[in-house]
């Protein structure tokens, strides 16, 4: 029997991109792997676990139809509150242990996930659970201070001019002008 871990994507860096794309397309009749691939453009096999994650978040019913929570998210109003509810749905195992788990730093969160899953904190699945949780949380509240070098923006290339900086944030390359 498979372990009942909190939800995760091994490629959790794609989560904010999928959520952002959802806001730009009409609400589908059914959110399937085909919708994820053809309409949203996320074609990699590593992107497919987003559909079960969306179910656990309460965005989709068992048949893949968008729920009222998905529709509220799609409206784009009160995103932090809506995603907060979705995160609590998806990660109920974490919240059942600590009501303020969203305020934990990465190290404390890793310890909690390791305790729940019986995995080492460095295990790829445990790290993916933590990464998925933080990716969702940071999309909901992007001003939250980054506590981990993996999630924090990284300067990728030296500036072309003294006024230009290139930054990678969640896999997206941004060019900032001073």
Domain regions of the chain by residue span: 12-144
Mean pLDDT of 55-83: 94
pLDDT of residue 174: 52
Residue 82's pLDDT is what? 92
| Distance of alpha carbon 9 from alpha carbon 127, whole angstroms | 10
Confidence category of residue 148, pLDDT binned at 50, 70, 90:
very low
- In this prediction, residue 145 carries a pLDDT of 39
Question: What confidence tier does 76 reach under pLDDT thresholds 50, 70, 90?
Answer: confident
Position 156 pLDDT exceeds 50: no
For the cut 90, the answer to whether the pLDDT of residue 154 exceeds it is no
Q: Which pLDDT does position 162 carry in this prediction?
A: 46
Element spanning 83, H or E: helix 79-90
With a cut of 70, say whether residue 19 has pLDDT above it. yes
The confidence score (pLDDT) of residue 78 equals 86
d(CA 80, CA 138) in angstroms, rounded, equals 9
Average pLDDT in the chain: 83
List the structure tokens of 108. 């404390």
Sorted by sequence, the CB contacts under 8 Å of residue 144 that are 6+ apart come out as 137, 138
Whether 57 has a pLDDT exceeding 80, the answer reads yes
Cα angle, residue 9 at apex, residues 173 and 104 outer, rounded to 5°:
85
pTM confidence score:
0.77
Give the pLDDT score at 141: 76
Is residue 143 scored above 80 in pLDDT?
no
User: Could you give the dihedral angle defined by the CA atoms of residues 67, 80, 23 and 165, in that order, rounded to the nearest 10 degrees?
Assistant: -160
Higher-scoring residue by pLDDT: 145, 54: 54
Contact residues for 171 (Cβ-Cβ < 8 A; gap 6+):
13, 14, 17
What CA–CA distance (Å, rounded) separates 109 from 75? 31
């Amino acid at each position: 029997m498979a372990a009942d871990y909190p939800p995760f994507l091994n490629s959790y860096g794609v989560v904010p991109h999928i959520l952002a794309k959802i806001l730009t397309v009409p609400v589908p009749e059914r959110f399937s792997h085909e919708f994820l691939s053809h309409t949203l453009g996320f074609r990699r096999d590593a992107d497919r676990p987003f559909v079960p994650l969306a179910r656990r978040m309460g965005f989709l019913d068992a048949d893949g139809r968008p729920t009222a929570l998905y529709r509220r998210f799609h409206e784009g109003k009160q995103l932090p509150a809506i995603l907060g509810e979705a995160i609590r749905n998806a990660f109920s195992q974490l919240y059942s242990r600590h009501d303020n788990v969203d305020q934990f730093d990465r190290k404390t969160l890793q310890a909690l996930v390791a305790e729940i899953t019986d995995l080492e904190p460095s295990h790829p699945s445990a790290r993916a659970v933590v990464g998925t949780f933080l990716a969702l949380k940071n999309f909901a509240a992007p001003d939250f201070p980054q506590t981990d070098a993996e999630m924090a923006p990284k300067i990728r290339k030296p500036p072309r001019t003294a006024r230009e900086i290139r930054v990678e944030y969640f896999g997206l390359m941004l060019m900032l002008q001073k």
